[in-house]
């Protein structure tokens, strides 16, 4: 009853952290999958990961890749970037704003990652400017619920649209088309 439909990131992060502890899950952050291959004869995977700079080989029977819906980072080519004396990073390479304390930083992009990076930089004492190429559409949450997100509401549940059904509706969206619309 007290969980918001539009969950703040910190609340979601706290929930996931608590969930992994309560369920005693083996959860690794700062870990990147380098390779994965399946051995038909042994019926197992060989997965090589980089965990904070250390390569580890795992041999699971099953594997789930839950890496997001929209594919790899899209990096832009900036004319004159080779002459820039500062540091150029993609948000996927960003770790912390500490080293930018007291410096002027431009964040190009106003989607979720851009906002997260800007907040962290500002909280770390950087002078931050966000740059975006087009206006942001601002929509009241009530209106957003009317144009599609109502499938995750209490009203939808009362109409028989369970979380599973709502997830199926969202999963039927052809994600390959989403980046083209951005």
Return the CATH class of domain 81-131: alpha beta
Instruction: Give pLDDT, residue 122.
Output: 95
Are 60 and 87 contacting, i.e. CB atoms less than 8 angstroms apart? no
Q: What is the pTM of this model?
A: 0.48
CA distance 65 to 31: 13
128 in Cβ contact with 122 (< 8 Å): yes
pLDDT for 102: 95
Per residue of the chain (182 residues), what is the pLDDT tens digit?
A: 677 777 888 888 898 889 989 988 888 878 888 998 988 898 888 999 999 999 999 998 877 766 555 567 777 787 788 888 888 888 888 999 999 999 999 998 887 788 889 999 999 999 999 888 777 767 777 776 666 677 877 788 889 988 888 888 777 766 665 554 44
144's tokens? 């957003």
Identify the H or E element spanning 116.
Answer: helix 112-123
Are 121 and 105 in contact by the 8 Å Cβ rule? The answer is: yes
**Where in the chain is CATH 3.50.50.60?**
81-131
Residue-level pLDDT at 99:
94
Query: Of 125, 126, 51, whose CA–CA distance to 87 is shortest?
Result: 126
The pLDDT of residue 144 is 67
């Amino acid at each position: 009853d007290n969980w918001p439909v539009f969950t703040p990131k910190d609340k979601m992060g706290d929930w996931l952290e608590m969930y992994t502890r309560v369920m005693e899950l083996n959860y690794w952050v700062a870990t990147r999958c380098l390779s994965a291959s399946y051995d038909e004869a042994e019926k197992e995977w060989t997965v090589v990961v980089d965990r904070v700079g250390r390569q580890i080989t795992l041999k699971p029977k099953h594997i789930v890749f839950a890496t997001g819906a929209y594919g790899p980072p899209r990096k832009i080519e900036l004319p004159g970037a080779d002459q820039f004396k500062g540091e150029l990073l993609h948000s996927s390479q960003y770790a912390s704003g500490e080293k930018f304390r007291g410096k002027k930083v431009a964040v190009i992009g106003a989607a979720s990652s851009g906002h997260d990076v800007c907040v962290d930089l500002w909280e770390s004492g950087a002078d931050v400017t966000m740059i975006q190429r087009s206006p942001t559409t601002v929509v009241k949450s009530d209106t957003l619920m009317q144009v599609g997100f109502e499938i995750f509401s209490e009203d939808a549940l009362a109409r028989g649209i369970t979380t599973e059904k709502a997830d199926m509706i969202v999963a039927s969206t052809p994600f390959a088309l989403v980046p083209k619309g951005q």
